[in-house]
Amino acid sequence: MRPGVGLLVSTLVLAGAVAVTGSVLALRLFYVWILVLAAGWLWVRLSIRGLSLESGAIPERACAGSSIQQEVSLNSASRLPRFGLTLQAETDLPGADSAPVHEIVSGRGASLQTNYLLVKRGRFHLGRFRLTATDPFGLFHSRTSLGEARQITVHPQAVPLPPFSLLGLAGSGLSRRLPEALSASASSIREYTTGDSLRHVHWTSTAHTGQYMVKVFDADRSRHRAKNYWVILDMAAPAHSGEGSQSTAEYAVTLAAALARKYIAGGFQFGLIASQHEPVVMPAAASQKHLTDILDVLAVIEPRGAMPVAELIARHQGLFGSDSTVVTISPSNSSALTEAYHQLTSRGGAAAFFLIDGADFGGPSPAAAGRSLIQLGAPVYLLRKADSCAQSLEQAAGAPGWVRDWSRS
């Protein structure tokens, strides 16, 4: 029963008792009840009058997995204390509905701090609050909204990207042809990663640092050195499975963001192509603003595309040249990925694949596609369901796709 209906029924019952019994006691109880109702109603109406709210600034952008704080001041036009006030954030931010409700005793005003845990990427609104006044008897409640909602874009979670041997910053990603074109002298050294030849270990630096260090060679033909990196992000709805943070789509987006952060930070040109209702194409660039723009797109992208990833690659292959390394992220089990690999490498560039094992998320397995790509010599990494996407990346870096017994899938 709604509170208002309950109060009305109680009033009618008391009035009926007075009319039927004619009791003086019943009449007095009726009068007291009316006074209580009037006092409660007046209390809640006066409690929220003359109140204003000022909220501190929030960042325009943040990263999932982090938290932000907001200072809030509730100001009163009256110096009289007010009791029975509570303040709670009105926001579409996931998880904020479980935030604590602040009890307010307002004289001249009150200041408090609201903490928000950003559990999901997306675009949300913060800064508006719901003020609730309750009378001492708990009979009446009055609510009003205060403050101005501000938009915040939550970027995909920042996860450390393990050293994938064919995609490291020091290498060009040209795994099959680069050894033919190495010059005799090394230009620099870097940490050893899985797949490096032990012939290239720089023993002096290894002894000095306590970690294996390898020589980095200049390519004699500069056209074979990767100057730009592209990510093909498969967001076609039929290919994805799972929900929330444990979904193939979330793993794909988190990996795309990690690659963008790492390669742009390394000074490389980076571009993104993703399938949506209309393909999203962000030409390769290397500025911090470009990274922000990419992360803004990845913050809100969802698996709503209809174009298969192989068709997406075929439509945009003209963007890739001999100095390009193209990374495809997909849970697709389509055999057309083999043709996509031929298209990507036909111009002299390099291609690698991160396949997400949809079988772990209740969807199809990419085993057939992975087996075909491996037979062509394509670098393939398999991301499997783990406690977190970061853990899945660690496992993929330590165990490339060809280590898995695909024949049993």
Cα→Cα distances 117→57, 95, 132, 321, Å:
16, 8, 23, 43
Length of the chain (residues): 409
Predicted TM-score (pTM) above 0.85 = no
Signed CA dihedral, 39, 45, 50, 52: sign only: positive
Pick 280 or 9 by higher pLDDT: 280
- What is the band of 27 on the pLDDT scale with cuts at 50, 70, 90? confident
Q: What is the C-alpha to C-alpha distance for residues 158 and 139, in angstroms, rounded to an integer?
A: 48
Closest CA to 47 of 142, 145, 128: 142
Full strand arrangement of the beta sheet holding 102-106: 102-106, 82-90, 128-134, 141-146
Q: Is the pLDDT of residue 107 over 70?
A: no
- Each residue's pLDDT tens digit, 220-258: 433 445 678 999 999 999 889 999 889 999 999 999 999
Are 363 and 247 a contacting pair, CB within 8 Å?
Answer: no
Pick 192 or 127 by higher pLDDT: 127
Q: What is the pLDDT of residue 201?
A: 77
Residue with tokens 């050893």: 192
List domains and CATH numbers for the chain.
51-155 (2.60.40.10), 178-218 (no CATH), 226-408 (3.40.50.410)
- What is the band of 409 on the pLDDT scale with cuts at 50, 70, 90? very low
State mean pLDDT over 183-193.
59
Q: What is the C-alpha to C-alpha distance for residues 74 and 69, in angstroms, rounded to an integer?
A: 16
Closest CA to 176 of 345, 367, 319, 312: 345
Q: What is the C-alpha to C-alpha distance for residues 349 and 2, in angstroms, rounded to an integer?
A: 68
